[in-house]
Structure 1
Amino acid sequence: MKKSNFLALSALCAAFAAVAAWVLSVSGSLPESWFRLPKWGISAVGIVFLLMLFIPNIIWSKKQPQNYEESAKRENKLLLALERAGEALVSVFVLIDRRLDSFSLSPRLGYLILALILMILYELYWIKYFRSSRTLADMYSDYCGFPLAGATLPVFAVFLLGVYACNVFLTAASIILGIGHIGIHLMHKKEIEK
């Protein structure tokens, strides 16, 4: 692992741990809301996050890297199924949990801020990709030290949203998405390196 990758992931883990320690020191235990069903309704924060995810991907579908179709044919079917299931679950849970819209000055707000920072980095990664020569190597590149930025940044952001909303379903969906999405990107990157 590159030093920049290690530093970026360490910084993210440190920020996550700091917010978690702060939350636990204030509340003394896991919030009871982890064990409740979500507040059903349309989430404005969810809509914003989905737009931040979908808009670059829609543009990408018209500006795919050369030879991507050939590479996509060799994707692991299990990872692809996990990715598709994770995408669907994340999209639904982000969209319908109104707890994402409940803002209060508390340590938990740190998770939402971290998620937003990661999504801004994700948008900047796409700008870098669209300005590049758009090769497979550009597609699976690192950004700001995050390995496979096109896969890791949104997965980490959605995981943090799940923690922020105390939504066990969204958190689990982000893990399913991460296994599939990051796994597929990792396979493509290994193919390129060969």
Structure 2
Amino acid sequence: MGQIGFSYTGLLFLLLLFLPNLFWAGRKPVGYDPKGENRVLLFLERTGEVCVTASALLFSDFNPRGWTLWSLWLAAAGALMACYECWWIRYFRSERTLQDFYSSFLGIPLAGATLPVAAFFCLGVYGKVIWALLADAVLAAGHIGIHLQHARALCRTQENSKEERI
């Protein structure tokens, strides 16, 4: 269920999550418009963000303990966060288009949304904290759902643009 206490591992993961987003706020892709986002997905995303943040900080179960086979979950979480940081580096070095923002990374679709959600899932499994897993599921539904909504709209726009040129 989870041992209440501060998680420095959770804090590190949150810093890795939030810092690139702070830079992104001033370097959004041309044409990015959050208007028209599904309100249910937006509610789930915001609720998931608050709950994931709280659970990452408030359960000491995420802090490393002695090495066991179970530690592979923590290693997987770390690897996914490393991939997330690499995805951001690629984005910031790109032309920062909508296509760049909704791109895949190492075959993982919508990597900017999928990688951090997967990392926090692995962290929740590592800590055996059901609350973190539930929070991550809510975040996944909202965050990945919104990115999918935008990616589909981008795809439709590109298809319409191709048809107009023909």
TM, length-normalised to structure 1: 0.79
* Pairing partner for 1:67 from 31, 47, 56: 31
* Pairing partner for 1:121 from 83, 87, 104: 83
Deviations 1:64-89 (A, max 9, x none): 011212xx101100000000000000
Deviations 1:43-68 (A, max 9, x none): 11011000000000000001001121
Q: Which residue of 1 aligns with 2:52?
A: 90
Deviation at 1:100, TM superposition (A): 0.8
Q: Please say if 1:58 is aligned against 2:17.
A: no
Partners of 2:121 and 2:113 in 1: CA distance: 13
Partners of 1:115 and 1:187 in 2: CA distance: 26
Q: Please say if 1:148 is aligned against 2:110.
A: yes
Which consecutive unaligned segments of at least 5 residues does structure 1 have?
1-35
Partners of 2:64 and 2:110 in 1: CA distance: 31
Which consecutive unaligned segments of at least 5 residues does structure 2 have?
157-166
Partners of 1:42 and 1:152 in 2: CA distance: 26
Q: Which residue of 2 aligns with 1:49?
A: 13
CA RMSD of aligned residues (A): 0.8
TM, length-normalised to structure 2: 0.92
Identity level (%): 44
Q: Which residue of 2 aligns with 1:133?
A: 95
Deviation at 1:102, TM superposition (A): 3.8
Q: Which residue of 1 aligns with 2:150?
A: 188
Aligned length: 156
After TM superposition, what 4+ stretches of structure 1 lie above 2 angstroms from structure 2?
Answer: none
Deviation at 1:175, TM superposition (A): 0.5
